[in-house]
Structure 1
Amino acid sequence: MTLITNWRTVLAKSASIWLILASLVASFGFFFALVNPALMGWSPICFAAVSAGFQTLAIPARVMLQKGISGLDRFRADQSGALKRRYVGLIAGSGIALSSAIAFIGSWEGLRQEAYRDVVGVWTVCYGATGGVRPGDSYSRADCDQMLAAEIIRYEAGLDRCLTAEVPLGMKIALVSWTYNVGVGAACGSTLLRRVNAGDLSGGCDELQRWNRAGGRVWPGLTRRRISEMEMCHAALRSGA
């Protein structure tokens, strides 16, 4: 066991009148826990009432604010040990929004239900999934949609670690589509996210069209995707949804 560094100060400062009262009242409660009504010649009802009264009186002394202890304010404000609610993203928290994201992102990723080798020889299936894919694997459309949904939720969570501004749903879907394509690291380090977090949502939408290169080369498919994401982004800002 290791003592805290300021244990002497804590003991000295905690010797307040409230601590003394709490100790006295608690000692009476301890006394009543050891004896019985017959020993004191009291009626059981009277004995129980007095015992409960002393236990109740101890409560205010236990919760009364103690002042003057070094670092105590920081201790009270510390939330590091609190149970935290699991964050649910804008898309992940709505079945309708998730369906919309699947439809939009899936249309750009393309669906292939039989496993195939991509351009660099990696076995791939559904909407570009590669994890654990083997030759001969086959999936239903529902299976592929479910896999894509899980990826969308994962990418939204990654994006939300660096997206601090509140954005409408349509813009969020566009940004997650872009993040799904370029990666969370690239998205979080981008000028696009800096502009959005600074409150320039429209400027952030405009930045999407700049992400149409791969390997230093402009790709028509990427250009079309970025324009579509940008249009969805601006439409969401106009409608607020």
Structure 2
Amino acid sequence: MPNIAKIATGAICSVSVIIGIVLNDYTNDIRISRAGLELIGDAESCINQPYHCPAGILTIGIGSTTGEIQPRKYSDDEIARRWVNDIKSAEQCVNQYANGKKLSQSIFDAAVSITFNVGCSKMRVSTMYGYLNRAEYQKACNELPRWNKSNGKLLNGLIIRREKERLLCLIDLS
């Protein structure tokens, strides 16, 4: 979660509004479920002005770090569009490197969430993706808590996020 104290007043936007826009306007563009969107949105929060995330990366909206980020306030529609593009990239990574098309919805959602957060270049060579490719789903889900640091520093927000991802991942396995 961003350092709210450093963000200008009025810069907070509503994750639920953005999810509503995504589900209304972009349902055919992405596979992730409402549960997956809510997990990512709750973990990232929504800020409509550029800020630096805990890793020091310039960010906008719901965790978007891709493309040009201008020093201005972004509309809900712009944030939703950016988020969908970022989600699509994470989904493409899961599909290409983790056998995503064969994953259950909950495992797919958890894999997309961590990929959205960590990035495809790190995830595609991860032990977790290896387990997903071998259909060792419980082992894959149990890898999630290992990804709890940013720049080598243990972050409480990542500990919480990874446990939520792990629980979502395991839903279809119980």
What's the TM-score, normalizing by structure 1? 0.54
Task: Pick one of 98, 110, 126 that aligns with 1:174.
Answer: 110
**Residue deviations 1:79-99 (CA, integer Å, cap 9, x gap):** xxxxxxxxxxxxx75768454
1:223 paired to 2:159? yes
**Residue deviations 1:197-230 (CA, integer Å, cap 9, x gap):** 1121111101111111222232111111100000
**Residue deviations 1:42-84 (CA, integer Å, cap 9, x gap):** xxxxxxxxxxxxxxxxxxxxxxxxxxxxxxxxxxxxxxxxxxx
1:184 maps to which residue? 120
1:150 maps to which residue? 85
1:103 maps to which residue? 38
2:24 maps to which residue? none
Q: What is the rounded CA distance, in whole Å, between the counterparts of 1:234 and 1:211 in structure 2?
A: 17
Q: Does the Cα contact within 8 Å between 1:202 and 1:234 map onto a contact in 2?
A: yes
User: For the structure 1 residues 178 and 187, does the alpha-carbon distance in structure 2 shift closer, same or farther, using more than 3 Å as the test?
Assistant: same
Q: What is the rounded CA distance, in whole Å, between the counterparts of 1:116 and 1:222 in structure 2?
A: 18
1:80 maps to which residue? none
- Where structure 1 has 5 or more consecutive residues not aligned to the other structure, the ranges are 1-91
Counterpart amino acid of 1:152? Answer: I
Counterpart amino acid of 1:180? Answer: F
Q: What is the rounded CA distance, in whole Å, between the counterparts of 1:191 and 1:163 in structure 2?
A: 10
**Residue deviations 1:115-142 (CA, integer Å, cap 9, x gap):** 334567654321232421122x212223
1:162 paired to 2:97? yes
Deviation of 1:146 after TM superposition, in Å, equals 2.2
- Matched residue SS, 1:132: coil
**Residue deviations 1:182-210 (CA, integer Å, cap 9, x gap):** 11121111111111211211111011111
1:114 paired to 2:71? no
Once the two structures are overlaid, the 10-residue window that deviates more, 114-123 or 191-200, is: 114-123
Counterpart amino acid of 1:204? Answer: A
Q: CA RMSD in A?
A: 2.5
- Matched residue SS, 2:99: coil
Counterpart amino acid of 2:79? Answer: C
Ranked by relative contact order (alpha carbons within 8 Å, sequence separation 6 or more), the top structure is: 2
- Where structure 2 has 5 or more consecutive residues not aligned to the other structure, the ranges are 1-26
**Aligned pairs, how many?**
147
Q: What is the rounded CA distance, in whole Å, between the counterparts of 1:214 and 1:179 in structure 2?
A: 14
Counterpart amino acid of 2:39? Answer: F
Deviation of 1:237 after TM superposition, in Å, equals 2.8
**Aligned residues with identical type, % of pairs:** 26
Task: Pick one of 60, 71, 76 that aligns with 1:125.
Answer: 60
User: For the pair shown, which has the larger CA radius of gyration, 1 or 2?
Assistant: 1
